[in-house]
Amino acid sequence: MNRLIFLFLLTYQFGLSQNTNKEVYLVHNLYATGFDNDEYLYSTDSIKFENNRKISDLLNAISNVHSINDIFRDSKIDTLKILNNPLDLINKYKRSKVDWNQEQKDFIKPKLQDLKNYKKYYSDYLNNGCCITMHQRYRDEYQIRIFENNLLVNEITSRKSIGGFKIPWTNSLTGVKNYNFEIEEIILDSRKKPKPLKGNRLQKYLTNKIIDYNITKLYELSAYTYNKEIKELEAEFDIKYFGEVYGRGRYIWDEPQTFKIKLHNNEMLANINLVFMASKQGKSIYSRDSIISNYKNPLKRVQNISFITGYLNENPESTLDIYFFNNKTINEYNIDGVNKSPEDWEKQDNYVKSLEWYKTADIKPSFDIEKAIKTSEKNNCGCNYRFDREFIEQAIFFEIRNKNNDSSVWFLLPDDTVLLYLMQGQKVLEYDYKAFGNEYAGVQWPCKRFELNGKLIKR
């Protein structure tokens, strides 16, 4: 026994003595990126390792090459559960509310059962911190250079990053990538470095990533929970699409769980549809009778807008959707956007009045007054028509999309004028985006009113 211990120590000391013939340097390179997105070397510094034990451990880690498949196998995720009981993993998902009806389970099961998906998101996890951001314009890398008899015999370089792990280390001579975590644990202060996730924590992280990637489809399939109620609409319409609304913004804001159901029948032009935005009501969705009983008059009025129906006839690839928000053709969110309230109007008037001070004061403002008034007007008055509440509540919300997916939101008002509220993209109907004052294509609020024949109404 003593002889074995002696041989081990002799061998270990021999290894150390072999490594002491080598000089090992750690180089730290810091790169900066200007706002022209050109990256350049900002600073560099290096240190020489003097600790023989550290040198020996480092050289052993460098020679012990791990592939990404090696470290994935060592990550201790439960591959048996993934392959045999993948639906057990959905209980780990807490980021968004998912009903997990049968259609959702059937959809997600093969995604959670495919090990390639876990490998992909594991690779993405290791690559976190790869890239510069608006607020972080610096990345760094490490190089380990090994010299023997003053000759460079090996060099490995970490990835550039703004954080996260430094793997993989790329051998500059062979191009081989090494994913051995031990390298950075040896050269960097391991107390300040996060440990890579393993086991249950990693499995939860990867499961969340797979579900997050598919969340839009899962929301769409959520509507199957109310499939029986939705099918009641088939008595009057063909159902072209149904799904839960994912996200908030153009159509709704703080409403409860809401389902979008696109409908069509022979009373509509080929490229006109109804969209029923039905919110959850108790254990069901909003009464389907509301749209069945009330859709004909709004449809007739919209199809009577001659300049728009003319455009649709000439551009059959474009579509027009008339919205019903439960039982109304406009909702509070869009009333607030286009019209605001008397209280908001008063804020605007007071703000404009306060700026009159500059007319008599011998002080030049540090801002553009006209731009400030316009910005404030959008925030406090919407389109600044200041419609009576009873008037705007009768508006009909509709949206037009062309073949390039340029979109526009309109309101047909009770007086049979048409308000172009919002446009996004290059064109709306035959109008270029510059026609309404924008210098660049994108989202803008033209707030222009038209007669039914398309004549622009001057303000």
DSSP 161-189: BSSS--PPEEETTT--EE--THHHHHHS-
The angle that helices 115-126 and 199-213 make with each other, rounded to 10 degrees, is 100
In a domain, 238, yes or no: yes
Residue 60 and residue 152 in one domain? yes
Cβ pair 257, 244 in contact under 8 A: yes
> Do 319 and 448 belong together in one domain?
yes
Are both 177 and 85 inside the same structural domain?
no
pTM given for the model: 0.83
Enclosing domain of residue 368: 342-381
Do both 262 and 331 map to the same domain? yes
The answer to whether residues 274 and 358 belong to one domain is no
Q: Are 157 and 142 in contact (CB under 8 A)?
A: yes
* 397 and 266 co-located in one domain: yes
The domain total for the chain is 4
Q: Work out whether strand 407-412 and strand 396-401 pair parallel, antiparallel, or are unpaired.
A: antiparallel
- Answer for the pair 286, 318: CB distance below 8 angstroms, yes or no: no
Helices 102-113/215-222 angle, 10° precision? 160
Q: Say if residues 252 and 333 touch (Cβ distance below 8 Å).
A: yes
pLDDT, one tens digit for every residue, the chain (459 residues): 444 443 444 444 444 444 457 899 999 999 999 988 899 999 999 999 999 999 999 999 999 999 999 999 999 999 999 999 999 999 888 888 898 999 999 999 999 999 999 999 999 999 999 999 888 999 999 999 999 998 999 999 999 999 899 999 999 999 999 999 999 999 987 656 778 999 999 999 999 999 999 999 999 999 999 999 999 999 999 999 999 999 877 788 878 899 999 999 999 999 999 999 999 999 999 999 999 999 999 999 999 999 999 999 999 999 999 999 999 999 999 999 999 999 999 999 999 998 888 877 878 888 888 899 999 999 999 999 999 999 999 999 999 999 999 999 999 999 999 999 999 999 999 998 888 877 777 889 999 999 999 999 998
Same domain for 261 and 368?
Answer: no
pLDDT value, residue 5: 41
Is 294 within a domain? yes
Residues 134 and 46 in one domain: yes
User: What pLDDT is stored for residue 12 in this prediction?
Assistant: 42
Which residues lie below 8 Å from residue 235, measured CB to CB, with a gap of 6+? 292
Pair 394, 446 in one domain: yes
In a domain, 4, yes or no: no
Tell the residue number behind the tokens 């389902």, with chain if given: 259
CA distances from 20 to 10, 13, 49, 328, 364 (A): 15, 10, 10, 82, 73
Kindly state whether residues 350 and 249 are assigned to the same domain.
Answer: no
